[in-house]
Amino acid sequence: MIELDEGVRMMGNVTDCDVDRVFVGMPVEAYAVEAADKVGVPYWRPAAQR
């Protein structure tokens, strides 16, 4: 679950991060992944990694 600064929560996958290093409260940022033809879904990666 990703809780946005705006207050809503949404489901998402955290990528670009070793699974053992994911923790509750970790800052993440969104990026888009094309799940199917012309269907994009937001994914998440650690915020520091720009």
Partner 1 sequence: MGRTLGTGGMFRGKTVAGPSQFEAPYGNSLVGAYAMVARRHMHEFGTTSEQLAEIAVGVREYAGLNPHALYRDPITVSDVIGSRLVADPLHKLDCCVISDGGGAVIMTTAERARDLRQPGVAVLGAAGGMTHWNISQMGDYTTSAAAVCAPEAFARAGLRPSDVDTIQFYDSFTITVLVLLEDAGFCKKGEGGAFVAEGHLRRGGRLPLNTDGGGLSSCHPGMRGIFLLIESVRDSCAVRAASRRCPMPRLRSRSARAAGSRASAPSCWERRSASHGRGAWRRVEEAAARARPRVRAVLGGRRGRSPALPGVSRVRTPPVLPAAAVHRVRRRSRVGRGVGTRHRAHLHRRATVRRAAVQGRAALRRWR
Regarding 9 and contact with partner 1 (CB under 8 A), the answer is yes
Determine the longest span between alpha carbons in the chain, in angstroms: 33
**Among positions 12, 26, 29, 46, the unique one binding partner 1 when judged by CB under 8 A:** 12
Query: Is the separation of the CB atoms in 19 and 9 below 8 Å?
Result: no
Closest CB to partner 1 among residues 5, 25: 25
The span from the CA of 50 to the CA of 44, in Å, is 12
The span from the CA of 27 to the CA of 37, in Å, is 29
CB of 32 to partner 1, least distance (A): 12
| Site for partner 1, rule CB under 8 A | 1, 9-13, 15-16, 19, 24, 33, 35, 41, 43
